[in-house]
Amino acid sequence: MKKQWYSNISVYIKLIRVTSWPKNFFVFVPAVFSKHIFSLDYFLTVLLGFFTFSIASSAVYVFNDIIDAPKDKFHPLKKNRPIASGMVSKVTATVISIIFFVILAAITLQMSLYFSLIIWTYVVINILYTIFLKEVVIVDLFCIASGFMLRVIAGAFLISVVISNWLILTTMFLSLFLAVMKRRVEIAISANPSELRKVLKDYSLNFIDQIAAMTGSGVILSYALYSVADRTVNFFGSENLVFTTTYVIFGIFRYMYLVYKKDKGENVIEVLMTDIPMIINLVLYIATTVFIIYSR
């Protein structure tokens, strides 16, 4: 009985994709780079934003799985999702999604207007993406990428700080890079990609690779320029942030290696949490960045 109870819980945890919640840590980016992450009031405010985004993302994930269940049954990876596999009924999933949306509405009514607008913009974009935008070439990439951008912007609104334009560009390029890498894996793992997702017929590996090269380069250049910008150097009182560009370059190259050589990358969190070199690189980047920003 106890084993069955744990099994049922794990199914619902999988349904709401708790493992994808780390994406919402992007809301902490403005707090880190504005030197507020160790201020308790700011930290708790952003932490609430993190959980709010987690509820929003779970609500749209369940909605997406309900709509996509018929197609997911034929996907080599998605066929194991709770709804597609039949472990959770569509009726139950619909009730869970509605509950999450109601909770989200109740929370956002108590939060700042701009943050709430960002949250619901995220929800609307994802619903439209699920219904039809995912079949529109190029637009689908921007829809996927918008989630990361909105998280960073929401984090800035939460604590009323201004984000560097270079940091915004870095986030935009990184978001698009991760989105296009996701599409590349989908094409690579299927003999007939368009059967899994109609929009894939409008992409080719050559086209995808060109976009990947441009967006990956954009991430590196934007971050490098952010690290040496006069505003950045004056604000942090140090020119040493430029050295963290090494971690960014390694991260982009390693991610491309995993996508091109290992066909990983459809789930960015899975890559970041399971690949040892990526984990070490991420830990070193965070530790070095925090030391440089806060040591003074």
- Name the band, by pLDDT with cuts 50, 70 and 90, for residue 2: very low
What's the whole-model pTM score? 0.89
Rounded average pLDDT over 158-168? 89
Instruction: Give the number of other Cβ atoms within 10 Å of residue 31's Cβ.
Output: 23
Rounded average pLDDT over 7-11? 78
Is 178 exposed, middle or buried, given 0-12, 13-18 or 19+ CB atoms closer than 10 A?
buried
Q: Give the Cα separation of 96 and 199 in Å (integer).
A: 29
| Model pLDDT for residues 132-146, shown as the tens digit of each residue | 899 899 999 999 889
Q: Give the Cα separation of 211 and 177 in Å (integer).
A: 8
Rounded average pLDDT over 246-273? 88
What pLDDT sits at residue 216?
95
Residue 3 has pLDDT above 60, yes or no: no
Q: What is the DSSP track for 173-214?
A: HHHHHHHHHHHHHHHHT-SSHHHH-GGGGG--HHHHHHHHHH
Q: What is the 3-class SS of 252-281, one letter each residue?
A: HHHHHHHHHHHCCCCCHHHHHHHCHHHHHH
Among the ranges given (163-167, 221-225, 283-287), the one the predictor scored with the smallest mean pLDDT? 163-167
Q: Give the Cα separation of 147 and 17 in Å (integer).
A: 15
Q: Give the Cα separation of 65 and 48 in Å (integer).
A: 26
Among the ranges given (7-21, 236-250, 281-295), the one the predictor scored with the smallest mean pLDDT? 7-21
Is 69 exposed, middle or buried, given 0-12, 13-18 or 19+ CB atoms closer than 10 A?
buried
Residue 241: C-alpha distances to residues 25, 160, 223, 229, 233 (Å): 21, 23, 10, 10, 8
Residue 26 has pLDDT above 50, yes or no: yes
Instruction: Give the residue from 26, 19, 15 showing the smallest Cα distance to 60.
Output: 15
Rounded average pLDDT over 184-197? 73
Q: Are 81 and 13 in contact (CB under 8 A)?
A: no
What pLDDT sits at residue 86?
82
What pLDDT sits at residue 191?
61
Q: Are 283 and 293 in contact (CB under 8 A)?
A: no
Among the ranges given (59-73, 90-104, 225-239), the one the predictor scored with the smallest mean pLDDT? 59-73
What pLDDT sits at residue 61?
93
**Cα angle: 140, vertex 146, 149; to 5 degrees:** 155
- Name the band, by pLDDT with cuts 50, 70 and 90, for residue 176: very high
| Model pLDDT for residues 73-120, shown as the tens digit of each residue | 776 677 778 888 888 888 999 999 999 999 999 999 999 899 999 999
- Name the band, by pLDDT with cuts 50, 70 and 90, for residue 201: confident
What pLDDT sits at residue 84?
83
Higher pLDDT, 59 or 199: 59
